Amino acid sequence: MNLNPRDAQNDRHGFAVYAVFAVAGSAQVAAISELRRAMYSRVEDPPAYINAPAHVTVKRLFAGIPNVEEIQEAIHGICESVKPFRIELEAELESRGSNSSSLAIPVKITQELVAVNQALESAISPLADTEFGSSDFYPHMTVFQDASPEESGKGMRLARGLRLGTGFYVETLEMMARTAPSRGGRWTSLASFEMDIWS
């Protein structure tokens, strides 16, 4: 069955989907937020990701969790044993989807990034009833997605001036959750987890 996270409904905790993000640096977050605000300035029901900080998703979207605390304990346990690491951005933006409805920045696959993804997948998958997308890890930073042709055209023009540098350091992971619907909903940080910066 091919489930679409955009169709997910809010659960008893008040959220439709959950994920774990490695949030980008403050300048990168500001640049992408500014682009998204300009892109959707005249849209009544912008997509939920407009208010999510620029990030790399290190655990794919999931839903159907019995309790939030159990997931948070799993993430905390992983972060306690992981050293901070750097995420490297590729130089070229990548347009995807029909009519270039999505724009992303590919991320270089490193041992550290893959290890974090695999640890999160192994720890969280048994605790979630539903996982969205493939378990194949394709790290990237989304600029925009699921845009209408008009929105995409505007986003592509705005993205020409986007300067994001070569990457960012990850010292914390964020457990994030989105309310339904996917257009008009909102991403919220449920908890931050600091990595092992002391040893």
Residue 197's pLDDT is 76
Domain CATH for 188:
3.90.1140.10
Q: Predicted confidence band at 61 (pLDDT cuts at 50, 70, 90)? A: very high
Whether the CB-CB separation of 93 and 35 falls below 8 Å is answered with: no
Nearest one of 24, 41, 46 to 162, comparing CA atoms: 24
Residue 1's pLDDT is 46
Mean pLDDT of 173-187: 96
pLDDT (tens digit per residue) in 79-137? 999 999 999 999 899 998 877 799 999 999 999 999 999 999 999 999 999 999 888 99
pLDDT (tens digit per residue) in 24-54? 999 999 999 999 999 999 888 899 999 999 9
Question: Is 95 within the bounds of a domain?
Answer: yes
Domain range enclosing 136: 5-194
* Phi, psi angles (nearest 5°) of residue 160: -60, -30
- Torsion sign over Cα 37, 28, 149, 60: negative
Residue 199's pLDDT is 62
Question: Distance from CA of residue 16 to its chain's centroid?
Answer: 15
Cis amide prior to 181 (ω within 30 degrees): yes
Question: Is 136 within the bounds of a domain?
Answer: yes
- What is the number of other CB atoms lying within 10 angstroms of the CB of residue 175? 22
Cα distance between residue 64 and residue 37, in whole Å: 31
Cα distance between residue 89 and residue 3, in whole Å: 29
Question: Is 174 within the bounds of a domain?
Answer: yes
Question: Is 41 within the bounds of a domain?
Answer: yes
Report how many domains make up the chain: 1
Question: Is 199 within the bounds of a domain?
Answer: no
Question: Is 157 within the bounds of a domain?
Answer: yes
Mean pLDDT of 171-188: 96
Question: Is 112 within the bounds of a domain?
Answer: yes
pTM of the model: 0.94
pLDDT (tens digit per residue) in 159-172? 998 999 999 999 99
